[in-house]
């Protein structure tokens, strides 16, 4: 079951969105906006075993052309804190029709996640994006039973509390494997 707009409003104690703008509330989702600072990877190939180098770029008011086939690590302006629900991201259909993926596979959140949402922007065609534009939507499904532990209590929660666009921290999985062996 996906929460409706009324459900989202009724559950504001467990679904926090900061800042919250009532105009961004849809029928069963909330529109999130694009922060002007993004990351791009500096070198190729990317290696999941290392902390790959990135550089920061800023979207100017007049917009920035994202090049087809390039990956841009962006973030939402909105900070969310979700309890008792699973937050999920989806693209905006109008932007998808222009060839923009807002997350390549990582649109699923955890109960207890706190932070801004990192987006993996991947344009299939050159596209101009603008700072603070509506970029994606978040929707919520209720949890029918409490999980054994929520995300904010996990010691290995790599992205908890993220504020800036956050590049991959997959390399930390190798540190954990080394500790186990």
Superfamily of chain region 5-43+56-147: Deoxyuridine triphosphatase (dUTPase) (2.70.40.10)
Is the whole model's pTM more than 0.95, yes or no? no
> Domain locations in the chain?
5-43+56-147
Tokens, residue 175:
């540190």
What phi and psi values does residue 173 have, to the nearest 5 degrees?
-60, -35
pLDDT for 175 equals 60
Segment 119-163, tens digit of pLDDT: 999 999 999 999 999 999 999 999 877 665 565 566 666 677 778
178 Cβ contact partners less than 8 Å away, ≥ 6 residues apart: none
3-state SS track over the chain: CCCCHHHHHHCCCCEEEECCCHHHECCCCEEEEECCEEEEECCCCCCCCCCCCEEEEECCCCCEEECCCCCEEEEEEEEEEECCEEEEEEECHHHHCCCEECCCCCCECCCCCEEEEEEEEEECCCEEECCCCEEEEEEEEECCCCCCCCHHHCCCCCCCCCCCCCCCCCHHHHHHHHHHC
User: Would you state the structure tokens that stand for residue 136, as one six-digit string?
Assistant: 């994606």
Active-site entry in 61, 120, 176, 179: 120
The series of mean pLDDT values per 10 residues for the chain, 181 residues long, is: 96 96 97 98 94 97 98 97 92 96 82 90 98 97 72 64 79 64 48
Is 179 a known active-site residue? no
């Amino acid at each position: 079951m996906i929460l409706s707009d009324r459900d989202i409003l009724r559950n504001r104690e467990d679904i926090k969105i900061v800042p919250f703008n009532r105009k961004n509330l849809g029928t069963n989702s909330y529109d999130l906006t694009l922060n002007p600072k993004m990351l791009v990877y500096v070198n190729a190939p990317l290696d999941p075993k290392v902390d790959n180098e990135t550089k920061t770029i800023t979207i100017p008011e007049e917009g920035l052309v994202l090049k087809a086939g390039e990956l841009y690590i962006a973030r939402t302006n909105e900070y969310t804190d979700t309890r008792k629900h699973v937050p999920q991201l989806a693209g905006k259909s109008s932007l998808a029709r222009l060839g923009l993926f807002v997350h390549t596979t990582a649109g699923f959140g955890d109960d207890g996640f706190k932070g801004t949402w990192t987006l993996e922007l991947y344009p299939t065609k050159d596209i101009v994006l603008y700072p603070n534009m509506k970029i994606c939507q978040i929707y919520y499904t209720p949890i029918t039973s409490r999980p054994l532990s929520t995300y904010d209590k996990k010691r290995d929660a790599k992205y908890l509390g993220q504020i800036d666009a956050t590049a991959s921290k997959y390399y930390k999985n190798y540190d954990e494997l080394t500790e186990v062996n």
